[in-house]
Amino acid sequence: MDLQSLQVAQESFWRIFSAGVTKTIPLTVISFIGAMILAVSCALVQYANVWGLKQFVRFYIWIFRGTPLLVQLCTLYFGFPNLGIVIDAWTSAVIVFALNCGAYCAETMRSALESVPLGQLEAGYCVGMSWFQIMYRIVLPQAFRTAFPPLFNTLISLVKDTSLASSITVPEMMTQGMRVTGRTYEFMAIYLEVGLIYLLFSTVLTKLQTWGEKKLKTYENK
Amino acid sequence: MMLEVKNITKSFGSLEVLRGVDFSVNQGDVVAILGPSGSGKTTLLRCMNYLETADSGTMVFDGVSYDLSHTSKRDIGIIRKKTGFVFQNYNLFRNKNVLNNVTEGLIIARKIPKAEAHETAVKALEKVGLGDRLDYYPYQLSGGQQQRVAIARAIATNPEIIYFDEPTSALDPELTGEVLSVMRNLARDGMTMVVVTHEIGFAREVSNRVVFMDGGVVAEEAPSHEFFEHPKEERTRQFLRIISGN
């Protein structure tokens, strides 16, 4: 790497960074919100043992945890048009990331729900509360606290996994980086730069996690 | 007669835990249910509050008859709102402080206005001697204090009857006393109580009737003094000998 490489890196910084802000971050946030809605629903279905739905949820988790994310992206974006279903790149990416991440988070939430002692559910019944009231007010808040660190883990993974959306033409950070390298052949400088911006995002999230864990500690045992 | 159950049966797999239990409670009664481990005491209590579904049996509560194995969700809700339940392991809501553990059932389940619920809860907590611990979380309390919060949670809803499932069995001996004294006060105030317990001293002193269970049936039922002074059944005498240590 010489001065020219650094200059290319410097000139391309805003282009890549702004793709991060306008594409990577929204993609991550929207997908993760979708994933959490899916995860909580799937976890509750399994926790409550709803026959039929539970089998469906297991099937969904099996598929999305058992196949590569890249294959899922390509199937939806490149494969579905063969069936006459055309979905644009951005939407495809959001759908796949939400479904994939949701499958992992569903398992995290399920185990967190199961870690809340059953006696509190019974105590809730005995003071006259309904299942949904107990879940919403007693069990889920405790489960979220337990699940918080592993969920954040998945979120940090997701930030980095969004780089795979470059393979289905979403113009996020990796795509921008690849375009610059295609023109300048400065692979080392540009990919290091892209990597550093991801590291920056992950670091912010790690700080956020530490802060969040502290906030959630109010009724902690230790 | 405020509560009467007839012929309750309940099996867990091939294990018959209740084999036809009859049982009744009058207003103001303090009934102690005694018996060896595995005799079905706890299961009986749990069936009466639908924490377990009995295989068969009927319950008359407040003059209404229910089939214990087929009670509608709505009826179960109605019954639970008229009863209180105190668990062996307290089962406090760990994410709520002491005050909110008590107000939860009032505000959420009974839609009582916040201020009124707050006032009721504080009164209940003062009654169990914890009026100065309102903003503590369960983990900050001793076992005895947690169980007293659980009792406050049960009495705050103004139930017609409270079920106690071995309320002192998880406690260190020196903490048992504070819980028993709270229960003694409740009994004195005329609260109707059914207490599954191993505390013979408490049963003898506070309860007015004893139900002795063995092997999933009621082996003997009698007014307390009679039960302890002149037990009729050989099985009862044996149990009392073992438990009193001679």
Number of domains observed in the structure of chain A: 1
Chain A positions with Cβ closer than 8 Å to B: 117, 119-120, 122-130, 133, 137-138, 141-142, 145, 218-221
In the prediction, which pLDDT does A30 show?
A: 98
The whole-angstrom distance between A222's CA and the closest CA on chain B is: 9
List Cα–Cα distances, A155 to A35, A101, A148, B83, in angstroms.
10, 8, 10, 45
Residue of B nearest to A123 (CA): B91
Within 8 A of B89 by CB-CB distance, chain A residues are: 117, 119
In the prediction, which pLDDT does A220 show?
A: 67
Question: Is B91–A117 a contact, with Cβ atoms under 8 angstroms apart?
Answer: yes
d(C-alpha B56, C-alpha B218), whole Å = 16
Which residue reads 């912010």 in tokens?
A: A204
The whole-angstrom distance between B108's CA and the closest CA on chain A is: 7
**Domain CATH for A69:** 1.10.3720.10
In the prediction, which pLDDT does B173 show?
A: 87
In the prediction, which pLDDT does A34 show?
A: 98
Q: Which of A129, A142, A220 sits opposite B105 (nearest CB)?
A: A129
Within 8 A of A130 by CB-CB distance, chain B residues are: 77, 109
Q: Which of B77, B93, B157 sits opposite A138 (nearest CB)?
A: B93
Please check whether residue B147 touches A, CB under 8 A: no
Question: Could you list the residue range(s) of the whole structural domain that residue A72 is in?
Answer: 3-221
Within 8 A of B75 by CB-CB distance, chain A residues are: none
Question: Is B157–A128 a contact, with Cβ atoms under 8 angstroms apart?
Answer: yes
The whole-angstrom distance between B100's CA and the closest CA on chain A is: 11
List CB contacts of B184: < 8 A, sequence separation 6 or more. B202, B205, B206
Q: Rounded mean pLDDT of B158-185?
A: 93
Question: Is A126–B95 a contact, with Cβ atoms under 8 angstroms apart?
Answer: no
d(C-alpha B66, C-alpha B52), whole Å = 15
Query: Residues, chain B, total?
Result: 246
Residues of chain A scoring pLDDT < 50: 222
The whole-angstrom distance between A221's CA and the closest CA on chain B is: 6
Question: Is A137–B104 a contact, with Cβ atoms under 8 angstroms apart?
Answer: yes
Q: Give Cα B157 to chain centroid, integer Å.
A: 15
The whole-angstrom distance between B178's CA and the closest CA on chain A is: 22
Please check whether residue B89 touches A, CB under 8 A: yes
Within 8 A of B93 by CB-CB distance, chain A residues are: 120, 123-124, 138
Q: Which two tokens stand for residue B102?
A: 């008590």
ipTM: 0.94
Q: Is residue B246 very low, low, confident or very high in pLDDT (cuts 50, 70, 90)?
A: low
In the prediction, which pLDDT does A222 show?
A: 42
Question: Is B105–A128 a contact, with Cβ atoms under 8 angstroms apart?
Answer: yes
Within 8 A of B109 by CB-CB distance, chain A residues are: 127-130, 133
In the prediction, which pLDDT does A118 show?
A: 94
Please check whether residue B138 touches A, CB under 8 A: yes
Q: Give Cα A113 to chain centroid, integer Å.
A: 20
pLDDT in tens, B103-155: 999 999 999 999 999 999 999 999 999 999 999 999 999 999 999 999 999 99
pLDDT in tens, B7-16: 999 999 999 9
Question: Is A133–B109 a contact, with Cβ atoms under 8 angstroms apart?
Answer: yes
The whole-angstrom distance between B159's CA and the closest CA on chain A is: 10
pLDDT in tens, B12-40: 999 999 999 998 999 999 999 999 988 99
Please give the model's pTM, rounded to 2 decimal places.
0.89
Amino acid at site A199: L
Question: Is A138–B95 a contact, with Cβ atoms under 8 angstroms apart?
Answer: yes
pLDDT in tens, B46-99: 999 999 999 999 999 999 999 999 999 999 999 999 999 999 999 999 999 999
The string of DSSP codes covering A164-208 is GGGGGT--SHHHHHHHHHHHH--HHHHHHHHHHHHHHHHHHHHHH
List CB contacts of B220: < 8 A, sequence separation 6 or more. B210, B211, B212, B227, B231, B232, B233, B235, B236
List Cα–Cα distances, A175 to A24, A90, A164, in angstroms.
11, 13, 9
Please check whether residue B51 touches A, CB under 8 A: yes
Please check whether residue B94 touches A, CB under 8 A: yes
